[in-house]
Amino acid sequence: MSQPDFSHDGIRTARGTAFRYLFMLCALLSILTTVAIILTLLLDAVDFFAQVSLVDFLTGTRWSPTNEPIAFGVLPLISGTLVITIGSAMVALPIGLLTAIYLSEYASDRQRAYLKPALEVLAGVPTVVYGYFALVYVTPAIDAILPVDLSTFNALSASIMVGIMIIPMVSSISEDAMSAVPDSLRQASYGLGATKFTVSTSVVVPAALSGIFSSFILALSRAIGETMIVAIAAGQTPRMIDLTDPAGMFLDSIQPMTSAMVQIGTGDIVGQGPAYKSLFAVGLTLFVITFVMNLISELVASRYREVYR
């Protein structure tokens, strides 16, 4: 820093203040981004809801934006998203939790040093690559191995890929929470003669529960917003699902919200009609769902951080 600055307090302060506000502007940009997202979605969604009633949108069970008879019921898309969420949860939640337990309770420092970056790679692979894998490797493999009638585009392989992708989200946040559990709790159990299994499942997991819960929600929110895997591998059939019929849910083609957005975004839709605006209505629905989930996750997480601080 040059000498004259030290002797001119006025300039110094002015410059300091200028930078302060410049940096503040950068930070406020994040709020502007949120505002811009909400406004972009809302403005077009409002246009959409001027033509299609909100009730029809939220309760309709047919989604057919361009095919006569036109219908804009979002439920089939939400049910498609639900299938992917359930499927990926069945993959990622148990695997992620067990991984977190292994890393936090069993693994040596050396093992951790290799395993953690390797797990992070799972989240770093571009989703278009996962989608391609699901379509050209996973689906044919499942079709060959399992005696089921699997459609080319199906929820099963897409869910598995989404599940694998979100494992590190579950494992790293859960592991953080488990590591935050004070060692005194573990020592007390060992003192009573407990095995590592008992300590892990009966002491550490319950104590880290809110962190684990937070990781689950965050991971599922990611699954809900995942676009390319489902757009490539899950199909374009908007349909209502029957929760009591797992085969029907997973073996056939579905259409989650994100995939419908890609279809509208790339489709042959002319002008500013409701078909085009529905892109923003679905986008808004997706945004609200993931936003609320992220918020819950954040609030739960901040709670567990406080407990052992």
108 near other proteins (CB under 8 A): no
Closest contact distance (angstroms) between CB of 183 and other proteins is: 19
Cβ-based neighbour number of residue 127 at 10 Å? 18
Number of residues this chain uses to bind other proteins (CB under 8 A): 119
* Whether the Cβ atoms of residue 300 and residue 214 lie closer than 8 Å to each other: yes
Compare residues 57 and 133 and give the one whose CB is closer to other proteins: 133
280 lies in the site for other proteins, by CB under 8 A? yes
C-beta of 42 vs 58, nearer to other proteins: 42
Please report the sign of the dihedral spanned by the C-alpha atoms of residue 260, residue 272, residue 70, residue 54.
positive
| Least distance from other proteins to the Cβ atom of residue 62, Å | 9
**Under rule CB under 8 A, residue 8 binds other proteins:** no
Under the criterion CB under 8 A, does residue 263 sit at the interface with other proteins?
yes
Report in angstroms the alpha-carbon separations of 145 from 16, 88, 137: 67, 20, 12
**Binding of residue 265 to other proteins (CB under 8 A):** yes
Kindly write out the interface string for residues 38-77 of this chain, putting x where it contacts other proteins by CB under 8 A and - elsewhere.
-xxx-xx-------------------x-xxxx--------
Round to whole Å and give the CA distance between 20 and 199.
Answer: 49
With vertex at residue 273, the alpha carbon angle to CA 37 and CA 255, rounded to the nearest 5 degrees, is 70
End-to-end Cα distance, the chain? 39
**What track of x and - describes contact with other proteins for positions 172 through 191 (by CB under 8 A)?**
--------------------
Q: Is 148 in the site for other proteins (CB under 8 A)?
A: no
Stretch touching other proteins by CB under 8 A, among 25-33, 49-57, 180-188, 240-248: 25-33
Task: Pick one of 3, 270, 306, 309: the residue that binds other proteins (CB under 8 A).
Answer: 270
Q: How far is the CB of 97 from other proteins (least distance, A)?
A: 8
Helical axes 75-101 vs 257-266, angle rounded to 10°: 130
Please tell me whether residue 273 adopts helix, strand or coil conformation.
coil
Which residue, 44, 78, 45, 49, is CA-closest to 61?
A: 78
Choose which of 137, 182, 187, 188 interacts with other proteins (CB under 8 A): 137
Give CA–CA dist 274/278, Å, rounded.
6
